[in-house]
Structure 1
Amino acid sequence: MKSFNTLDFNNMERLYRINLINSASGFKSANLIGTKSKSGHSNVAIISSVIHLGSDPALLGFVSRPVSVRRNTYDNIKETGIYTINHVHEGIIEDAHHTSAKYDALVSEFSMTNLKEEYKSECDAPFVKGAPVQIKMKFLEEVKLKLNGTIMIIGEIQKLFVEYGILKKDGLINLTEGKVVAINGLDHYTLPQSKKRLPYQRPKITNQLVKES
């Protein structure tokens, strides 16, 4: 296997290092964060760092890059306290990826792509129309990481919208059936395949354990 150490990282060409380290962590979720400023300007941005933090209460987090420059998504969330998370599906990959382009706060990425805003009752932030999973989030907390200046945004799920066909009887949302994509690195989009579901695991009872009991 090819190996790398910290000295190698320090001497690498910048883009090679970015691609290498971003893909080393494994497949990541592909989500669009929808926000709207207090002045009424909508924003949508692709995020690959949304993670589950707990089910009760229902918490999700994502990482925002340092705010040494203006971050429209971060600013809107801090202003309004409301945002949406929308799963990227196979049909919108190119438009979703384009939202990573840096536009002025007054320019909505919705207007620069074929993505459509969708509004639901009691949510001022836009959802992405057609996303198989749409989530209304309430901002709760931010955690600043001293090591690199990034910020973990933590929010609570206020409302969850799921396409009927991909919601299973036991509560599983089958993202594969929804054609939801994942991200390998920064710009490689992949469509996962279902293999199998496995039951809840308990410790195996060995002969040694039986004798000791």
Structure 2
Amino acid sequence: MNLKKSKIENLERKYRLNLINSITGIKPANLIATKSEEGVENVAVISSVVHLGSHPAQLAFVLRPQVEKESDTFKNIKSTERYSINHIPENLIKKAHYTSAKLGSEESEFDRMNIEKEYVEDFFAPFVKESPIKIGMKLSSIIDLPNDCKFIIGNVEQLILADDLVNNLGQIDLQKSKSAGISGLNSYYSLSKLDTFPYVRTSEIPEFE
């Protein structure tokens, strides 16, 4: 298969959607949890979370265009400036996937999909209780992207995970955590560690055959 731009643009819509959403490879599988000012809790599957920096610790994710109707996730983050990012464990992928349904603002995906939530200390937004890695976030900024999507940038306020998931270098074992990955829009994968390599210094590059 060798597809030029014109060919890609003329593919059947659903085929093109699946294909282009898959070409980046495995993406992180996360649930973004929020709460409205009225107290309604919301949770939605997101596969676009990216690391922006470590000092300060910042993460970002992409939301679809909010033109016709703003999503509950977007509205809640704008109004409360608090949200949580939760790794999706392998045993929760089915429930997590169905949070992409467009429910009414008065209905919580936590309740509809029977996903257990929890609150940690005084953090405003809920966390997903079963998630092995939970991240409490504070909104930093929202950037309009050229395709009308929203780039949501936040600062890490809280990090919750088991001590035995982190080694003495601060590296998290995603295989041990049983965090899932996503390919495309609806295919979920387990993650297996292949190897770990040292920080690369020019003087230490080995001879490759």
TM-score, structure 2 as length reference: 0.95
The 2-side partners of 1:31 and 1:140 are apart by 19
Identity of aligned residues (%): 43
Aligned position for 1:82:
82
Aligned position for 1:70:
70
The 2-side partners of 1:97 and 1:150 are apart by 21
Q: Deviations over 1:147-181 (max 9, x none)?
A: 21001000000010012221212111111101101
Q: Deviations over 1:103-139 (max 9, x none)?
A: 0111100111121110011211110002110010000
After the TM superposition, which parts of structure 1 deviate over 6 Å for at least 4 consecutive aligned residues?
A: none
Aligned position for 2:112:
112
Spell out the pairing of 1:28-107 with structure 2 (5 A cutoff). 28-68=27-67, 69-107=69-107
Aligned position for 2:18:
19
Aligned position for 1:7:
6
Stretches of structure 1 that go unaligned for 5 or more consecutive residues are 207-213
Stretches of structure 2 that go unaligned for 5 or more consecutive residues are none
TM-score, structure 1 as length reference: 0.93
Query: Once the 2 structures are TM-superposed, how far is the Cα of residue 205 of structure 1 from its aligned partner?
Result: 7.3
Aligned position for 2:172:
173
The 2-side partners of 1:148 and 1:51 are apart by 18
What is the number of residues matched between the two proteins?
A: 204
The 2-side partners of 1:163 and 1:91 are apart by 17
The 2-side partners of 1:8 and 1:168 are apart by 47
Q: Deviations over 1:27-50 (max 9, x none)?
A: 100000000000000000000000
Instruction: Name the larger-Rg structure.
Output: 1
RMSD: 1.2
Q: Secondary structure at the match of 1:189?
A: strand
The 2-side partners of 1:130 and 1:199 are apart by 32
The 2-side partners of 1:195 and 1:205 are apart by 21
Aligned position for 1:157:
156
